[in-house]
Structure 1
Amino acid sequence: MTLKLRSAGTSDRGLIRSGNQDALHSGTWLVAVADGMGGMAAGDLASAIAIGSVAPLDVETPEDALVAALQNGIQVATERIRQAVAEDPQRQGMGTTLTALLFARTGSCLALAHVGDSRAYLFRDGVLKQITRDDTFVQMLVDQGLITADQAGNHPRRAVVTQALQGDEVSPTYATMVPRAGDRWLLCSDGLSNVVRADTLAEVLAGQPDRDACGRTLIDLALQAGGPDNITVVIADVVDEA
């Protein structure tokens, strides 16, 4: 059995924002989503830098080198964002989330890197599980038992991220997992996860086998919910091509 990753990605400005500060990579070995922040031009630039920094990782990588490769990509992004701010002080405060998944050349392992409040979900055996943990103020309150997960969804400070790629030292979360044939990954910006319920995400992931159509359906649902933010979706399927 030879497992492969097959992906499709799409992005939409939404109905409120004047531009799209999200960026994505949908490749053979790597999928990633970045959600920029810090002003129109700077947000665009930060997310583009992040994706441009990890895109070269979309090559055959040994499983024991996956996490190191992602760490290096994030270090490159951090240095490039720092340089961009140094070149133009008006970019001060710009930053971006990054959620990236790198598939090993053997198909026996994958690694995930995450910082910010974009998300990675795994849909396996009919069950949707959020794999990443939001780096946000409200998630911190949830972890401390001060509010419930439902309350977090409507909290006035739900958009406050506690960690992002901004040119400073950062502590991303890294994890490795063993993929299975039939796994379906959803990587998305918060323009989707903030407005479409998890049970609805699961329904679409289960009912729409075509990756492009699945991504488009999810974006349409976010637009129907008001589309208050940029919406970016990457669908990645683990397939057996033996």
Structure 2
Amino acid sequence: MTLKLRSVGTSDRGLIRSGNQDALHAGAWLVAVADGMGGMAAGDLASRIAMDAIAPLDVETPEDALVAALQSGIELATERIRQAVVEDPDRQGMGTTLTALLFARTGSCLALAHVGDSRAYLFREGTLKQITRDDTFVQMLVDQGLISPDEAASHPRRAVVTQALQGEEVSPSYATMVPWAGDRWLLCSDGLSNVVRPDTLAEVLAETPDRELCARRLIDLALRAGGPDNVTVLIADIIEE
């Protein structure tokens, strides 16, 4: 028996924004979410550039090459965003988050790359754990013990990111993990995580085995909570085949 990755993703404009600046990739080896920023046209472009740069990694990759592959994808995205700003200075300040998970061809390992405030959660044996750390101003305050995680959730500056892919040097975080059969990953933009509580996320992930239905239910919850932002949800299951 070999472990395989099976994924599905969906995105919604939300109830307030005029367009959708999120982008996603749900493949057999790679899953990724990007949330663009910096004005409608530019944010939309930045997330699309990032996704186009990283999507070619959706191929069988040896486990010892996972992190290097993600690093090269992020370097390519950074260079292409820098180029886009050079071509049109009005795009100055555009950027995007990126959270990506790359599964090894052997099924024995996966690697995670992250920059910004989109999130990756792991639901394993009934417990939901946030694997990524938000690159945000409020997370910095939480880390320094100045505010509690509960206060961070409603802080007026919770949307201020401290780093994103903007064409300049960036320090993404990388991690490798051993997958287990039955693991369920949730990757999402902050349009979900800002408005739906973790215990509710865990409940839906536990109760909805069908990936597509699960993603749709989570989007619906974000919309029911006011849908103040674009919302992107990606469900990836580790299964035995």
User: Which category describes the TM-score, using the shorter chain as reference length?
Assistant: over 0.9
C-alpha deviation, 1:139, in angstroms: 0.1
1:188 maps to amino acid: C
Q: TM-score, with normalisation over the residues of structure 1?
A: 0.99
Q: Secondary structure at the match of 1:117?
A: coil
| Residue in 1 that maps onto 2:124 | 124
Note the alpha carbon deviations across 1:68-126, whole angstroms, 9 max, x for none: 00000000000000000000000000000000000000000000000000000000000
For structure 2, the 5+ residue unaligned runs are none
Q: Secondary structure at the match of 2:157?
A: coil
1:100-111 equivalences in 2 (<5 Å): 100-111=100-111
Say whether 1:226 aligns with 2:226. yes
Q: For the residues of structure 1 that align with 2:80 and 2:234, how far apart are their CA atoms?
A: 24
Q: For the residues of structure 1 that align with 2:233 and 2:85, how far apart are their CA atoms?
A: 28
Q: For the residues of structure 2 that align with 1:226 and 1:188, how far apart are their CA atoms?
A: 17
Q: Secondary structure at the match of 2:186?
A: strand
| Residue in 2 that maps onto 1:197 | 197
Q: RMSD over aligned Cα, in angstroms?
A: 0.3
Q: Secondary structure at the match of 1:232?
A: strand
| Residue in 1 that maps onto 2:186 | 186
| Residue in 1 that maps onto 2:137 | 137
Instruction: Give the paired residue count.
Output: 241
| Residue in 2 that maps onto 1:149 | 149
Say whether 1:64 aligns with 2:57. no
For structure 1, the 5+ residue unaligned runs are none
Q: For the residues of structure 2 that align with 1:106 and 1:54, how far apart are their CA atoms?
A: 20
Identity of aligned residues (%): 85
Q: Secondary structure at the match of 1:50?
A: helix
C-alpha deviation, 1:35, in angstroms: 0.1
Q: Secondary structure at the match of 1:156?
A: coil
1:24 maps to amino acid: L
Note the alpha carbon deviations across 1:125-157, whole angstroms, 9 max, x for none: 000000000000000000000000000011110
Q: TM-score, with normalisation over the residues of structure 2?
A: 1.00
1:11 maps to amino acid: S
| Residue in 1 that maps onto 2:98 | 98
Q: For the residues of structure 2 that align with 1:52 and 1:33, how far apart are their CA atoms?
A: 12
| Residue in 1 that maps onto 2:216 | 216
Q: For the residues of structure 2 that align with 1:230 and 1:203, how far apart are their CA atoms?
A: 22
| Residue in 2 that maps onto 1:45 | 45
C-alpha deviation, 1:239, in angstroms: 0.2
Note the alpha carbon deviations across 1:145-194, whole angstroms, 9 max, x for none: 00000000111100000000000000000000000000000000000000
